[in-house]
A and B are shown apart, each in its own frame.
Chain A
Amino acid sequence: MSAIPSNLRYTKSHEWVLDNGDGTVTLGITDHAQQALGDVVFVELPEVGQELASGEEFGVIESVKAASDLYAPLGGEVVAVNESLEDAPETVNESPYEDGWIAKLKLSDADALDALLDADAYGAVVDAED
């Protein structure tokens, strides 16, 4: 199994969250998630300006096999989306934690970050699935 970066927070639904330290977060899907999905062929991105509630569906990742919904790990406003995924969705497979990021949110509640899983806890979630 690949390493789970310790600087990120995670959800049970396999999204990761990076605290940018300025009230915004960057999010994407984990390496485990991209491996389980297989080759990504399409990412339906949210709209910039869209307000998301925590746990709300905000997009879809389609692989050669199936479509999977993306859930907002935290509530907030979408301030940026990774438009390069429109032409190169495979970036999610190639670089899930960096170039394959999906969106940036301006958090409505910065403290909510603490409620997410840390790398160890997420590792346990992944182990339980295998």
Chain B
Amino acid sequence: MTQLNKTPLYDLHLELGGKMVPFAGYEMPVQFPLGVKKEHEHTRQACGLFDVSHMGQVLIHGPAPAEALEALVPADIVGLPAGMQRYALFTSEEGGILDDLMVVNAGEHLYLVVNAACKEQDISHLRTGLGSDYRVEVVDRGLLALQGPAAATVMQRLCPSACELVFMQHGRFSMEGVEVWISRSGYTGEDGFEISVPAEHSDALARRLLAEAEVEAIGLGARDSLRLEAGLCLYGHDIDATTTPVEAGLIWAIGKPRRRGGERAAGFPGADLILHQVAAKDHTRKRVGLLGEGRAPVREGAELFSADDVKVGVVTSGGFGPSVGQPVAMGYVAIEHAEAGNQVFAEVRGKRLPMTVTKTPFVTPGYHRG
């Protein structure tokens, strides 16, 4: 077995009683003594601190890096103003999704955050795809996500100027005497901040944040239930190389200028198929939210059937939604069953459990849009 990596917060996780599990090549806390459900609720009600240092943080240096990156993603990067962050997808020649990522226009360069499990592949994809005019720098920084309705209250004490950011804005700040990069975003559906901090200062900053009364350390378990309720995709589960952005309901991640008739139409891998699907809407399946009845969770891999017993899809993420108070799931269903309000049946241990196709998010987002 290969050695698992550790984030700069590894010792802190152990000290806090984190239950460590292997995740994307890292030893990560799945939960702390509070437990997944209470960690989830605490994040929705107050504020949670997440270690997401396992994610890849990458800078792209070179002439007009936004134009260059557009060769790999269908997002509008050229039109992304300085100090703004945008969601993007690396697409494949077959029109599938190789990874999802966040892109920041940091002024002189681009700052990317990519999934831990895809990190190596993404970096080599960037190096090959951008060519020798561009330098792909992997930075040695921790990444802390402070999420929840009290996140801004906490940030007001430690870095008040960061509270001027609105959802998806990004900037450089000084926090506890250290240069940090902060974006107002996250993966929980709540208001919050993602704080990139030099690796050697990560532990001290995390401890400083945890010293605030509102803040609890949160593990991967609650991170998953929070993002699921927020309707956010998990790469490798809800999206992968076999799902197109259109099937995944991520048309909004294809910038208008990149679509047919746009100023910079196409020019990304798989553009023919993806832009055809955007225009013709002839895809045969779609990612949907699914709301269960009762309490039995419907998990990844459960098959979905129509009332007349025809298999119509599969669940790609699912569990019990602590804030929704019902089982929640995401999955792909045949397009004729994808309309909100339609009922399908999930097979769980030989029983058929009714689920209703539901618009996501399942909870009202708390994003601070200013």
Contact = CB atoms under 8 A, between A and B. Distances in A.
Interface of A: 38-39, 41-42, 44, 60, 62, 64-65, 67, 86, 89-90
6 contacts: A38-B31, A39-B35, A41-B295, A41-B320, A42-B320, A65-B30
Contacts of B349: 44, 60
Interface residues on B, range: 10 to 19
Contact of A38 (B221, B296, B299): B221
B215 interface: no
A41 B35 contact: no
B295 A64 contact: no
B296 A65 contact: no
A92 to B, nearest CB: 12
Nearest to A88: B295
A64 B296 contact: no
B297 A38 contact: no
Contacts of A86: 295
Contacts of A41: 37, 295, 297, 319-320
A49 B162 CA distance: 63
B36 A67 contact: no
A45 to B, nearest CB: 11
Nearest to B224: A64
B32 to A, nearest CB: 11
A105 B31 CA distance: 35
A67 B298 CA distance: 10
Contacts of B319: 41, 64
B221 A65 contact: yes
B225 interface: yes
Contacts of B31: 38
A67 B320 contact: no
Interface in B171-200: none
A62 B320 contact: yes
Interface string B28-62: 00110001111000000000000000000000000
**When A and B form their complex, which 8 residue pairs have the shortest distance between CB atoms, in order from nearest?**
A41-B320, A39-B37, A64-B36, A42-B295, A42-B296, A39-B35, A62-B297, A39-B36
Interface of B: 30-31, 35-38, 221, 225, 294-297, 299, 319-320, 322, 349
Nearest to B31: A38
B217 to A, nearest CB: 16
Contact of A62 (B35, B36, B296, B322): B296
A60 B296 CA distance: 10
Given A62-B320, A64-B36, A64-B320, 10 more contacts: A38-B31, A38-B221, A41-B297, A41-B319, A41-B320, A42-B296, A42-B297, A60-B349, A64-B221, A65-B36
A37 to B, nearest CB: 10
Contacts of B36: 38-39, 64-65
Find the residue from B299, B320, B349 having the highest chain A CB count within 10 A: B320
A11 B97 CA distance: 47
A64 to B, nearest CB: 4
A67 B300 CA distance: 12
Nearest to A90: B37
A38 B320 contact: no
A36 to B, nearest CB: 10
A38 B295 contact: no
B19 to A, nearest CB: 9
Contacts of A44: 296, 349
Contacts of A38: 31, 35-36, 221
Contacts of B225: 64
A123 to B, nearest CB: 22
A39 B36 CA distance: 7
Nearest to B35: A39
A10 to B, nearest CB: 24
Find the residue from B221, B295, B322, B349 having the highest chain A CB count within 10 A: B295
Nearest to A35: B35
Contacts of B320: 41-42, 62, 64
B129 to A, nearest CB: 38
A44 B296 CA distance: 8
B208 to A, nearest CB: 29
A62 B36 CA distance: 13
A89 B349 CA distance: 19
Contacts of A60: 349
Nearest to A69: B349
A34 B30 CA distance: 16
